[in-house]
Amino acid sequence: MTVLVTGGAGYIGSHAVLALIEAGRQVVVLDDLSTGSRDLVPRGATLVEGDVGDEALVGKLIREQGIDAILHFAGSIVVPDSVADPLFYYLNNTVKSRSLIAAAVAGGVKHFIFSSTAAVYGEPEASPVDETTRPGPISPYGSSKLMTEMMLSDTAFAHDFRFVALRYFNVAGADPLGRTGQTSPRATHLIKVALQAVRGERTHLEIYGTDYPTPDGTCLRDYIHVSDLADAHVLALAHLERGGESQVLNCGYGQGYSVLDVVAAVKRVAGVDFRVDHAPRRAGDPANLITRSEKIRAVLGWEPRHADLDVIVGHALAWEDSFNAREKTRAVG
Ligand code: UDP
């Protein structure tokens, strides 16, 4: 039982590789290292440097490594970049996913887990959303992922092939044992930005909008610990292997925190104060994006282990500290 993990050298993919290895799986990582890092590929996994859109390469891996399932994390995820360069996003996220799915079908791989996103909901009319909420992406990023979901659904109808598309809400935190975490210095996500302020890597944090129709005026999001998300992938694979039907599942805890809640948690956990400015709204930010979590819990038997904002922030902070210490040592060495 060997699993091919595309994007396994990236933030979420590397956590999933850890969880798969802990579950006793053989893992082959396919990653072009464009944003991922060789250092993040967990010990025990084989790294193949290459392009997920290279159908011949994937076909060869399926044959030679005896791949019987694919977890597809590789992709581009920066929403404003997707607005500026939509065709790159449709190539990287949609066209290459099509090649990967085609290679899976041609190679007889029947089980496929796909990293989708809450961005497929765009600005939902009501929150919390659930899987019956009509998708309506408002960015090329969200569209590029929704189009892949549609390809998977049509492929599952036509072929002996089943999939689980996991729609991630706000993924944060790091491996509790400090083995992997987020490394991208360009990260725009709230917790990452706040930790940069804690560490003095930026002078302050800007809150994008304080006049939203929410209790404290800032946006509400459903933050999920990356290791709980990794567990969901292992369970999704087991679901398909026991004959479970194809599924689209939202991944969140069903609890919302505001930007101010997150800022307060970061200050509390780090024990460091930093400057916080109020800034105008950022284009395309829905006021409230929270999911119901009943379906994923029921279908997969998923039980989160780290559903606590302070724990998420604490693990992210510990990773940042150890990662930066390592980088410093490397620079000196
Ligand atoms: N946010 C903010 N300041 C920042 C980064 C993010 O106020 O420097 C807000 C953002 O407007 C949104 C929330 O934090 O309301 C979460 O944003 P993030 O980029 O982390 O994730 P998204 O929900 O956009 O995927």
CATH number at 299 reads 3.90.25.10
Same domain, 32 and 12: yes
Rounded CA separation 287/209 (Å) = 9
Residue 77: left (phi > 0), alpha (psi -120 to 50), or beta? alpha
The CATH number that applies at residue 86 is 3.40.50.720
The answer to whether the beta carbons of residues 55 and 102 sit under 8 Å apart is yes
Does any domain span residue 217? yes
Same domain, 76 and 197: no
Ligand 1 and 261: CB distance under 6 A: no
Total Cβ atoms within 10 A of residue 73 = 27
Q: How many structural domains are present in the chain?
A: 2
Q: Is the pLDDT of residue 147 over 70?
A: yes
CA 149 to centroid of ligand 1, rounded, Å: 25
Same domain, 85 and 202: no
The Cα-based distances of 287 to 117, 126, 221, 283, 291 in angstroms read 17, 10, 8, 11, 13
Residues 241-279 have pLDDT tens digits of 999 999 999 999 999 999 999 999 999 999 999 999 999
Same domain, 52 and 94: yes
> What's the domain range around 325?
190-221+254-332
Same domain, 41 and 134: yes
- What is the rounded average pLDDT of the residues 105-118? 98
- Degrees, nearest 5: CA angle 302-305-249: 30
Ligand 1 and 123: CB distance under 6 A: no
Rounded CA separation 27/21 (Å) = 7
CA 271 to centroid of ligand 1, rounded, Å: 22
Rounded CA separation 3/111 (Å) = 10
CA-194 nearest atom, ligand 1 = 8
Q: Measuring from atom 24 of ligand 1, which residue has the nearest CA?
A: 285
Scanning the chain, the segments in alpha helix (DSSP H) are 11-22, 55-65, 79-84, 86-89, 96-107, 140-158, 190-198, 226-241, 259-270, 294-300, 309-332
CA-193 nearest atom, ligand 1 = 8
Length of the chain: 333
Residues 70-103 have pLDDT tens digits of 999 999 999 989 999 999 999 999 999 999 999 9
ipTM above 0.85, yes or no: yes
184: tokens are 């991208």
Ligand 1 and 205: CB distance under 6 A: yes
Same domain, 231 and 326: no
Amino acid residing at 109: V
Rounded CA separation 262/192 (Å) = 11
- What is the rounded average pLDDT of the residues 187-208? 94
Ligand 1 and 280: CB distance under 6 A: no
Ligand 1 and 219: CB distance under 6 A: yes
Same domain, 164 and 24: yes
Same domain, 138 and 198: no
Which among 123, 138, 189 is the best mutation to test ligand 1's pocket, defined by most ligand atoms within 8 Å of the CB? Answer: 189
Name the residues annotated as catalytic.
141
Same domain, 16 and 153: yes
pLDDT at position 333: 59
